[in-house]
Amino acid sequence: MSNSLSGKKILLGVCGSIAAYKAAILTRLLVKQKAEVQILMTEAATHFISPLTLSTLSKRSVISRFFDDGHEQWNNHVELGLWADAFLIAPATGSTIARLATGMCNDVLAATYLSARCPVFVAPAMDLDMWQHPATQRNIQLLKDASNQIVPVGNGELASGLNGPGRLAEPEEIMLFLQQFFEKQSPTKQQALKGEKVLITAGPTYEPIDPVRFIGNRSSGRMGIALAEAAAAQGAQVSLVLGPTDLRPASHAAIEVVPVQTAQQMFDATVQRFPNATIGILAAAVADYTPLETSDVKIKKKTSDLVLHLTKTKDILAHLGSIKTAQQRLVGFALETNNEEENAHKKLVKKNLDFIVLNSLRNKGAGFRHKTNQITILDRHNNKQYYELKSKEAVAQDIIQYLVHHF
C-alpha cells in the first residue's frame, strides 16, 4: 500500500519543550517512511535534547544557528526553505508560535519559516493555561490564517502535573496528520487501496419473532456505510453486507450493496464473499441471540407471560478470523461499556484480527444513534492509537488510513 512520505524532504523544527524528546521518535518514524529529514533546533531545544541524538537519527547535521562556529559556514535559511517539501515544527512552544505568528526571524528556525514555500505543520506543546490563553489562541488563529496546518494538541497529563489540553500530539498522530495531508494533495495517492477487495458488514440485524415482531438493535449502519465510501474513494472494490437500515452509501460504481435482515443471512452473505476479499471490516451490530423458533403467524396476546427461547447466533467475525489467510486483513469493532481496552484486546486476540476499533459508550457522542464517534485502535503489534471525537465520515477515513499505513 502507498506511503505518501516516501522521498519527501522534511524540515523538522524542534523547540525548547519537555516534549522535545518526542522529536527523536518522530525522526525515526519519518526516516522509516523513507523521508529525508533535516533538523532545525532553537537554542532552547538543545537544552532538552542533544543535537547529537537527532543528527544521528536523521543522518544529517542538525542546524541551530545561522553560523557554524569555526567553520565559517552560513546556514542558508532561504535554501533550506526552498529545499523542503514540508516544514514540521514539533514541538512548537508558545514562544515560537508567537514569533512565527508575528513574522519575527531572530533564529534560523523562524527565518526558515519565513522563507519556506512548502506546507508548514505546527504541532503545539505547552501547559494548559498557556495553550488556552487568548494570546496563544490568537497566534494560532494567525498561523491558520496564513495557511499553516495546526496539528491538534493532545489532552492529558502535562509536565506541570496539570491535566488538560496542550500536550504535544503523539508522534504517530503527527505522522498520520502529515500523511493524510499529502494524500489529499496527490490524486494518485488517493488510490491507496487500488486493487483491494474490501468486504464490509454494517447496520443491525433483525431476528424475527413472528411476521410483525423482531429483536433488533439501534445501529444505524452509518459507520460501516462511511467505511464503504472511504474505501471506495481509495480505489477499492467494496461489498457492503448491510442489515436493515434506510441509509445507503452514496452511489458509487465500486460499491456493491448486499441487503440482509438476519444474523444468519449476514453470516451466509459475508462468509460466501470472504474468500474473494483481501480485506474484511466487520462493523455490523449482529444480534448475539435469535429466537429458536419463528412463528409463521402473529403471536396472540395471552393472559400469562410469554417466554421466548433464544439461541446463539454464529459469530461472523470469529469465523472469518479462523479461516483468513496470511494475505487477508481482518478488522473488527468492539462496543464496550466497561474495561474497554481489556475487553477489546481479548476480542482482537480471540477473533484473530489485525486490528480492532474500540468505541466506548462512556464517551459522549460515540456509538449508536450518533453522527459522531470517538475511537481507539488496538492492533496485533500491540500499538494503540487514540482519536478525538469526529464525524463518522472522518473516523472512517482514519480507519482506512490506519489500514493503509500499518498493514
Note whether 268 and 188 are within 8 A (CB).
Answer: no
20/375 with CB nearer ligand CTP: 375
113: contact with ligand CTP by CB under 6 A: no
Nearer to ligand CTP, 122 or 357 (CB): 357
d(CA 81, CA 145): 20
CA distance 315 to 119: 46
For ligand CTP, the closer CB: 347 or 406: 347
**88 near ligand CTP, judged by CB under 6 A:** no
Query: Counting contacts by CB under 6 A, is residue 12 touching ligand CTP?
Result: no
Judged by CB under 6 A, does residue 171 bind ligand CTP? no
Instruction: Report the nearest approach of ligand CTP to the CB of residue 335 (Å).
Output: 5
Q: Dmax over Cα atoms in the chain, in whole Å?
A: 99
Give the residue, chosen from 158, 209, 227, 317, that forms a contact with ligand CTP under the rule CB under 6 A: 317
Q: How many CA atoms lie within 13 A of 340 on its CB side?
A: 20
Binding test (CB under 6 A) with ligand CTP, winner from 97, 335, 399, 400: 335
- With CB under 6 A as the rule, give the number of residues binding ligand CTP: 16
Three-class HEC string of 20-42: HHHHHHHHHHHHHCCCEEEEEEC
Q: Which of 75, 76, 217, 343 does the annotation list as catalytic? A: 217
Residue 217 is among the residues annotated as catalytic for this protein = yes
CA distances from 383 to 28, 177, 329, 343, 399 (A): 16, 17, 16, 16, 14
Report DSSP state, residue 293: S
Of 49 and 241, CB closest to ligand CTP: 241
Helix (H) or strand (E) holding 290: strand 289-291
What secondary structure letter does DSSP report for 287? -
Name the segment binding ligand CTP (CB under 6 A); options: 78-86, 301-309, 329-337, 359-367. 329-337
Q: Which listed residue (17, 139, 239, 313) binds ligand CTP by CB under 6 A?
A: 313
- Write out the binding residues for ligand CTP, residues 347-366 only, by CB under 6 A: 347
Burial of 98 (0-12, 13-18, 19+ CB in 10 A): middle
User: Quick one: which H or E segment has residue 175?
Assistant: helix 171-185
| Minimum distance, C-beta of residue 219 to ligand CTP, in the bound complex (Å) | 9
Q: Taking contact as CB under 6 A, which single stretch among the options 5-13, 129-137, 247-255, 312-320 is the one that binds ligand CTP? A: 312-320
Pick the stretch among 103-111, 120-128, 206-214, 310-318 that binds ligand CTP (CB under 6 A): 310-318
Q: CA-to-CA distance for 128 and 5, rounded, in angstroms?
A: 31
388: alpha, beta or left? (left if phi > 0; alpha if psi -120 to 50): beta
Binders of ligand CTP in range 184-203 (CB under 6 A): 201
Minimum CB distance to ligand CTP smaller for 194 or for 312: 312
Q: Is 333 near ligand CTP (CB under 6 A)? A: yes
Specify whether the CB–CB gap between 235 and 255 falls below 8 A.
Answer: no
Q: In the range 260-299, which residues lie near ligand CTP by CB under 6 A?
A: 263, 282-284, 286, 288
- Residues serving a catalytic function are 217
Q: Which residues bind ligand CTP (CB under 6 A)?
A: 201, 263, 282-284, 286, 288, 313, 315-317, 332-335, 347
